[in-house]
Amino acid sequence: MEEITLKINDRQVKGKEGDTVLAVCRANDIYVPTLCHLEGLSDVGACRMCMVEVEGERKPVPACTYPVRNGLVVKTHTEALEKHRRLILELIFTERNHFCMFCEQSGDCELQELAYRYQMDNIRYPYTNPRLPVDSLNDYLVIDHNRCVLCGRCVRACSEVVGIHTLDFGKRGWKTTISADLEQPLGESSCISCGACAQACPTGAIFSKLSLYKGKTSECQQVATVCPLCSVGCELNVLVKDGNLVRIEAPSLEGPRAPLCDRGRFGLLYDERPRITSPLVRDKRGELKERSIGEAIDLATMKLRELKGSIAGIISTRYSNETLSLFHKFMHDVMGSDNIDTLDGKKYRIITEGIRCFRDDGAGLDIECSIEGVLQADCIVVAGADPQRTHPVVGCLIRRAVSQEGAKLIVINSARDVFPLWSNLWLRPEVGSEQILFEGLTKILMDKGLTRRENTPAELAAVLSDCALDEVDRITGVEIRDLEAAVNMYGEAKRGIIIYGDELLDRNAPALVNSLLRLASLTGNQIDEKLGVISLKPYTNSRGGWELGIAAGEIQADNVRGAYLVLDDEQLDEKLVEQLKSLDFIVVQASYQSSATSVADIVLPSPIWSERQGGEYVSLDGRTGKSQQLLQPRKGMLQFEEVLARLTKNLGH
Amino acid sequence: MAKVKIATVWLDCCSGCHMSFLDIDEAIIGVAEQLEFTRCPITDIKEFSPVDVGIVEGAVSTTNDEEVLRKLRTNCKILMAWGDCACFGGICTMRNLFDTEDVLKRYYLETESTKGDIIPASEEIPRLLEKVLPINQVVKVDCYVPGCPPSSKAILYAVSELLQGRIPVLPGDMMRFD
């Protein structure tokens, strides 16, 4: 890009073609006040605080939207501009209720900060005193229109970052207010409560109920950690004060990983589920009774000693690589057992077996593209997954690709269209017929000559033998016309992407994964030199656990007399619970009650995500994030590492 | 040197800004030696006499507030707005969202703890103005010390400036609106 030289406040500075005056100022440490500008959002020049004088322009221009060019002469702080800015501030203050003493955001407010900076000790204009509603029907968010300055940052965050566009301006002129959908209360609108608007809001107009009066930003310690929920592994900026979580934010609203979901931003702050706080031991009458941690560990030691070599271990991938490795090592070295799996290991084996059949070069999960790839895609196929529910940030990126980049969206789902407002096409195959559907799509793709690489004879044979085209619509229940429409969209795309998840993996069929991968590869579509395919893994460290080799094989049931389970809050499937019931001894380490704790002989409490020792987590697309311990575990509760260390010592290692 | 004569008034306010004079701690001893309070809520003098500095806490909410403020203005050389209510209207402006009649009705008739059934009215009781106003919308104001209440730093700065014969202009880092 062309370098541009310009002069700001008599100083020679450089910028790039396409930069705004504001961007060049910021890059050169030249302060320009702003209110409606926020990194990560587009600029609209709404607030007029960043007005600068440009030589040759008749009037001041907004720095945030004025593109730089060679030889530009800019002044940012003339007397006239400073007077103008103070006047704007005064007018903003007269427009609505901007009295700080009864505003929760006082001390965390950009409008207030600007007023201090401009020494606004009085206002020369009469107030308008409008009486505007306060919308508090949403579970987490409040919109107080009285505090709003109409900068539009929430509107832009809602559409540009989150891709949902619930918020916009309603009414006109003097009466303009922020509106959710068509003037609905936020709680009854299409809002997904992700809270990006609250993070974007410069004043106290949109704020979170959960963080009210818990502490100002300046009083909090800010800790970067990894979200403990789904496998997107979002980075969180957690504000902590006096042993309490005050607020959770995205590190910034910039970039593809800027959005957070409601569960990550709010749900983690508001968890009322009963925790396991004390060790429990099943007594002679079969009831779980509280015991001290020392007693529980001693009892566990006794039992485990008898079970060496005949015990199975299952661990949740909500735990870090370090914890997973430690457990693996304990089971192998101390318990003499390699009978170990992760709770989601079955999914891993289906995916990797599917990949291995498709491409046996050991690349494994690395063949998949990153979730950033979604934003580059021009056609997205969501197959057997509901990203908006299970991986909401992937859902955000899909909506963004569709609404901002014009990507086509095809939903393949037996039950419902998971993107009802966004999809171009919904294919509804009969349950279990998905593989035939993919074969059919592949066949049509070949017939139409839309493949972009040579098909191997084996592939042709596989597709053609399995699939007579006229059979496809009968078996899948999807009309040929729809299949062809799908192929036209997907086959003609240059950067198509297939996102698949739980519902396909539940079919328990590596061949299904294989057929999906083959379809993707035949189009020649690549994103960042990877295959345009993403599998949605269940937990925050699923991939980390899988790649440590813990999930390499199924648990072998014969010769197993006991089990050691390390869980967070997961419920086990009924089959597994039945299998567990037949064992002599089960120790469960968990944070919350579940079907596993109800069949355990000994339950050891495990700290929850915020109290655990920090460690590494690998996201669904292979990015490693580091978590940090935010709070001390509850009194008397031991870290997982400490429990294992005591058991190891007791068991004579 | 003659002491600087000061008169203070409280209008529609909570009196917190007057209390906050004490926040300057021991510095108050030095300040007190140079000041003389004439009319103020503590001396309880009701009459106005000419002073150097008039200090106003509170917003203008009733006909009485308006009259007191105007009298102070005519009797002082420098008028200082003291606290957010005087500077901006502050918390008192909450009632600007309602009609005065609704406010009175709510207060005297409807509140859960109210027993009476009349809104008191007589010529001696000041009437509510339609809107609560910051004092600069009624009289000319020479300087402002915002804050709810102003910080002790700001108080000491403002008083010291006045004592040295300057009109205080509060720097941004001493300013606060809460």
Chain B contact probe: residue of A85, A86, A100, A106 with most B CBs at under 10 A: A100
Q: State the average pLDDT over residues A57-80.
A: 97
Same domain, A243 and A153: yes
pLDDT of residue A68: 96
- Under DSSP, is residue B138 helix (H, G, I), strand (E, B) or coil? coil
Give yes or no for a contact between A317 and A474, defined as CB atoms under 8 angstroms apart.
no
The pair of structure tokens assigned to A505 is 């993996």
Stated as kind and residue range, the H or E segment containing A265 is helix A262-265
Q: Which residues of B touch A (CB under 8 A)?
A: 81, 84, 87-91, 93-94, 96-98, 131, 134, 136-137, 141, 143-146, 148, 169-173, 175-178
Q: What is d(CA A498, CA A501) in angstroms, rounded to the nearest whole number? A: 10
CATH code (residue A448): 3.40.228.10
- Which residue, A462, A531, A450, is CA-closest to A486? A450
Q: How far apart are the first and last CA of chain B?
A: 37
Same domain, A531 and A546: no
Same domain, A528 and A584: no
Q: What is d(CA A219, CA B105) in angstroms, rounded to the nearest whole number? A: 42
- Under DSSP, is residue B79 helix (H, G, I), strand (E, B) or coil? strand
- pLDDT tier, B1 (very low <50, low <70, confident <90, very high otherwise): low
CATH architecture of B4-94+130-173: 3-Layer(aba) Sandwich (3.40)
Q: What is the model's pTM? A: 0.93
pLDDT of residue A462: 64
- Quick check: is A123 in a domain? no
CATH code (residue A140): 3.30.70.20
* List of chain B residues whose C-beta atoms are within 8 Å of the C-beta of residue A97: 93, 97
- Which residue, A231, A229, A214, A226, is CA-closest to A262? A229
- State the CB neighbour count (10 A cutoff) for residue B117: 7
Min distance B148 CA to chain A CA atoms (Å): 7
| pLDDT tens-digit map of A134-193 | 999 999 999 999 999 999 999 999 999 999 999 999 999 989 999 999 999 999 999 999
Same domain, A486 and A394: yes
| pLDDT tens-digit map of A240-249 | 999 999 999 9
The closest CB to that of B177, out of A100, A126, A129, belongs to A100
pLDDT of residue A464: 59
| pLDDT tens-digit map of B146-176 | 999 999 999 999 999 999 999 999 999 999 9
pLDDT for residue A435 is more than 60? yes
Q: What is d(CA A123, CA B134) in angstroms, rounded to the nearest whole number? A: 9
The closest CB to that of A99, out of B88, B131, B172, belongs to B88
Min distance B44 CA to chain A CA atoms (Å): 29
The pair of structure tokens assigned to A134 is 């306060």
Backbone angles phi, psi at A217, to 5 degrees: -55, -40
Within 13 A of A469's CA, how many CA atoms are on the CB side?
A: 11
Task: State which of A490, A514, A535 marks the end of a domain.
Answer: A535
Q: Measuring CA to CA, how many Å separate A236 from each of A220, A266, A374, A526?
A: 15, 12, 21, 30
- Quick check: is A86 in a domain? no
pLDDT for residue A358 is more than 90? no
Same domain, A645 and A566: yes
Looking at the structure of chain A, the number of domains it has is 4
- Is the CB of A213 inside 8 Å of chain B's CB atoms? no
- pLDDT tier, B115 (very low <50, low <70, confident <90, very high otherwise): confident
Amino acid type, A161:
V
Residue B43 or residue A22, greater confidence: A22
pLDDT for residue A1 is more than 80? no
pLDDT for residue B13 is more than 60? yes
Which domain does A58 fall in, by range? Answer: 3-77
The pair of structure tokens assigned to A502 is 């739980």
* List of chain B residues whose C-beta atoms are within 8 Å of the C-beta of residue A102: 91, 94
* List of chain B residues whose C-beta atoms are within 8 Å of the C-beta of residue A127: 89, 93, 96, 131
Give yes or no for a contact between A630 and A240, defined as CB atoms under 8 angstroms apart.
yes
The pair of structure tokens assigned to A215 is 């502490």
- Which residue, A498, A568, A506, is CA-closest to A347? A506
CATH code (residue A337): 3.40.50.740
Same domain, A403 and A478: yes
pLDDT of residue A523: 87
* List of chain B residues whose C-beta atoms are within 8 Å of the C-beta of residue A106: 177-178
- Quick check: is A505 in a domain? yes
Q: State the average pLDDT over residues A571-586.
A: 93
| Mean residue pLDDT across chain A | 94
